[in-house]
Amino acid sequence: MAHRATTLVVTAIGAYLLGRLGTPVGEGVACSAAPPPDSAPLRDAEAIATPGAHHHELDGLVGTWNAEVTVRSMVDGPATLIRGTVNRAWVLGGRFLRETTVLGEGEARVEQLAYIGFDNFDGQYQVVRMDTASTAMRCGTGTLHPGERVMHVTGGRRDPATGRLVNGWTKLDSSDPERHVLIEYQTDEQGRTFRAAETVLTRAATQPR
């Protein structure tokens, strides 16, 4: 039961965290959308390859965080609390944010790896995520308006516990530099929307600032 609850929430952390409800590769959604036919092929290649202001909007996510995740698998289901840690750091010259997550303990332990970035060509945030609860690689996109510190993501994922495709959306509020809140909403088989998970990330006290 503990392992099932942990697998249900692993995609809610981070989604992410930037937490992302991703769609597994091979189910019809590519990690990067194909450019429209009229896209300009001669854009400044250097500008496209260089991290910019949109990447710096993610600076507040960097660091080590203590995670407390409250998850429900159904509308009226009981809540389960899972604790863990999240660590994020820039890699490849500040182009991508690498996120490593560990949730639960013992047999219920789940590890997750994600890469988050901003595609200068497509003009959108992107994430690819994988974990020990599934063999699928999940890709997704999101929006973050400059200065607002709130990211919105929509999409679908396959529930690793049941195999059912789950539709939903997430909201990550990072307006408090020391405490971030990620809320995941999803729809059940009857089309009812409910709050599936709430993740509270608190910056680790031992982390240098």
Q: What is the pTM for the complete model shown?
A: 0.75
Look at residue 208 and tell me if it is in a domain. Answer: no
Both tokens assigned to 76 = 């009226």
Q: Please give the residue range of the domain that contains residue 136.
A: 2-29+46-203
Written as tens digits, the pLDDT of the chain (209 aa) is 545 544 454 444 433 333 433 444 334 345 655 555 555 554 688 888 999 999 999 999 999 999 999 988 777 778 889 999 999 999 999 999 999 999 998 888 999 999 999 999 888 888 888 999 888 887 778 888 777 788 877 666 666 667 777 667 788 899 999 999 999 888 777 778 888 889 999 999 865 54
Quote the CA–CA distance of 166 and 21 in Å, as a whole number.
Answer: 9
Give the per-residue pLDDT at 142: 85
Quote the CA–CA distance of 74 and 86 in Å, as a whole number.
Answer: 25
Look at residue 123 and tell me if it is in a domain. Answer: yes
Give the per-residue pLDDT at 18: 39
Work out how many domains the chain is built from and give that number.
1
Look at residue 176 and tell me if it is in a domain. Answer: yes
Both tokens assigned to 143 = 């929006």
Candidates 167, 168, 144, 141; CA nearest to 60 is 144
Q: CA-CA-CA-CA torsion for 33, 39, 42, 48, nearest 10 degrees? A: -40
Q: Which helix (H) or strand (E) holds 56?
A: helix 53-56
Q: Which helix (H) or strand (E) holds 71?
A: strand 63-71
Look at residue 147 and tell me if it is in a domain. Answer: yes
| pLDDT tens digits, 85-94 | 999 999 999 9
Look at residue 177 and tell me if it is in a domain. Answer: yes
CATH number at residue 74: 2.40.128.20
- Phi then psi dihedrals of residue 202, to 5 deg: -115, 130
Both tokens assigned to 74 = 């159904």
Look at residue 193 and tell me if it is in a domain. Answer: yes
Look at residue 182 and tell me if it is in a domain. Answer: yes
Name the pairing type of β-strands 23-24 and 193-203: unpaired
Quote the CA–CA distance of 170 and 79 in Å, as a whole number.
Answer: 18
Give the per-residue pLDDT at 106: 87
Quote the CA–CA distance of 71 and 56 in Å, as a whole number.
Answer: 30
Look at residue 36 and tell me if it is in a domain. Answer: no
- Amino acid identity, residue 88? R
Candidates 20, 4, 11; CA nearest to 112 is 11
